[in-house]
Every structure is written in structure tokens, then in C-alpha cells.
């Protein structure tokens, strides 16, 4: 079985989470982790499980203006390193162009500031909503991984992402729409 993790990352936190989710999936899935600007339609078509993640910007999915603001923040703060592909199109644009695929098992995640989702927003909810509209079936609820006010993953979040990957592998394999369920 194949899993594809597609991510958008500004400061590498979402990429780190994607890679750790992949590590958790490897017992049950052959897993690829691909930046959103490099994913192909063939990658998506061949996946039994599609996992999509993005940072939360202004309560939702990043848009061109919030990506520019993140790049500006990185230029002003030497502790932030902007991801090489941060300026390209993001998950919002990719999902808008993604072909529907009824029954494909999927999951959504985000990175966001610590705090109640009502105050911070959750990009994973927008991702999940768009994935469901395309006929995909969520294996688990949208999940958030937390960063501090300096945009660094909180301690333990990378390990939690790997544990999420392990539980997602089980949930995806048990999904009624999964071909091997």
C-alpha cells in the first residue's frame, strides 16, 4: 500500500511533522513525502492514502499574502529559516486544482500556535473540508501540531506526529473505503 504526504511549509515545521508522520506510517505503507509544489497527479493517483498538511495562517490555509508576510518575518528574524519552496503555490491552490477521487482514504493536519482552535484557527479543518468535497474519505479527524510564539515546534510534537502516523496507518487500513479493508 502507498501513502503520499503532501505538505506546505514556511519554516520547516510542517515538513518536519510530515516526515515524522511518514515514519509512523512505514510499518504498513510505502510512504512518500512531497512538497506541494513538486507533487504530480500520478503521485496522487497511485496513493492508497493521501495525507495533506499546511501551516495555519490568519486562522486558515496560507494564501499568497500570508506567505509574503512569513517571508518578511524570516528576513527580520535570524532564528527563522524560510523553506526553499515557501514562495511557490501552496496547499490552498493545489487542493483547488486537485482532481476528485471518490473513496480515496485521506487525512489532514496543520501546524499552528498553541491555544484554543477558536482563537488560533486550524488549517487542517479547511484541508479536510476540501478533501471531503472531492469524494475522499477521512480516516481520522483533522489534527494540529503546535508551535511556540517563535514559530518552533513545541517539545514532543515531532514524537506526537510519529505516533499519529502509527494510529493513522491502522485507521486507514480499517477504513471501509480502503481496498484491503
What gap in Å lies between CA 110 and CA 145, rounded to an integer? 6
Q: Is the pLDDT of residue 179 over 90?
A: no
Model confidence at 141, pLDDT cuts 50, 70, 90, reads very high
Model confidence at 25, pLDDT cuts 50, 70, 90, reads very high
Percentage of the chain surpassing pLDDT 90?
84
Q: What is the pLDDT of residue 181?
A: 44
Q: How many structural domains compose the chain?
A: 1
Q: What is the CATH number of the domain that holds 161?
A: 3.40.50.360
Question: Which of these, 6, 85, 90, lies nearest to 41 by C-alpha position?
Answer: 6
Asked if residue 180 is part of any domain, the answer here is no
Question: Which of these, 48, 46, 41, 54, lies nearest to 6 by C-alpha position?
Answer: 54
Q: For residue 77, how many other CB atoms are within 10 A of its CB?
A: 12
Mean pLDDT of 135-139: 96
Asked if residue 41 is part of any domain, the answer here is yes
Mean pLDDT of 170-181: 71
Tens-digit pLDDT profile for residues 36-54: 999 999 999 999 999 999 9
Question: Which of these, 53, 36, 31, 160, lies nearest to 88 by C-alpha position?
Answer: 36
Mean pLDDT, the chain, whole residue set: 93
What DSSP character marks residue 175?
Answer: -
Percentage of the chain surpassing pLDDT 70?
97
Asked if residue 179 is part of any domain, the answer here is no
Asked if residue 30 is part of any domain, the answer here is yes
Mean pLDDT of 139-155: 95
Q: Is the pLDDT of residue 178 over 90?
A: no
Model confidence at 87, pLDDT cuts 50, 70, 90, reads confident
Asked if residue 181 is part of any domain, the answer here is no
Asked if residue 111 is part of any domain, the answer here is yes
Asked if residue 13 is part of any domain, the answer here is yes
Residue 60: give the domain boundaries: 2-174
Asked if residue 162 is part of any domain, the answer here is yes
Q: 3-class DSSP state for residue 132?
A: helix
Amino acid at each position: 500500500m502507498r501513502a503520499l504526504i503532501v505538505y506546505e511549509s514556511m519554516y520547516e515545521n510542517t515538513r518536519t511533522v510530515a516526515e515524522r508522520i511518514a515514519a509512523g506510517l512505514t510499518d504498513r505503507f510505502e510512504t512518500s513525502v512531497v512538497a506541494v509544489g513538486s507533487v504530480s497527479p500520478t503521485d496522487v493517483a497511485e496513493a492508497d492514502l493521501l495525507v495533506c498538511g499546511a501551516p495555519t495562517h490568519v486562522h486558515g490555509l496560507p494564501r499568497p499574502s500570508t506567505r509574503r508576510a512569513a517571508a518578511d518575518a524570516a528576513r527580520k528574524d535570524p532564528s527563522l529559516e524560510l523553506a526553499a519552496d515557501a514562495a511557490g503555490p501552496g496547499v490552498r491552490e493545489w487542493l483547488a486544482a486537485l482532481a476528485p477521487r471518490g473513496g480515496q482514504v485521506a487525512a489532514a493536519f496543520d501546524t499552528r500556535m498553541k491555544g484554543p482552535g477558536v482563537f488560533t484557527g486550524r488549517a487542517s479543518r479547511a484541508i479536510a473540508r476540501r478533501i471531503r468535497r472531492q469524494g475522499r474519505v477521512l480516516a481520522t479527524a483533522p489534527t494540529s501540531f503546535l508551535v511556540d510564539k517563535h514559530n518552533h515546534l513545541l517539545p514532543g510534537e515531532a514524537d506526537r506526529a510519529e505516533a499519529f502516523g502509527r494510529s493513522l496507518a491502522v485507521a486507514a487500513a480499517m477504513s471501509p473505503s480502503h481496498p484491503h479493508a
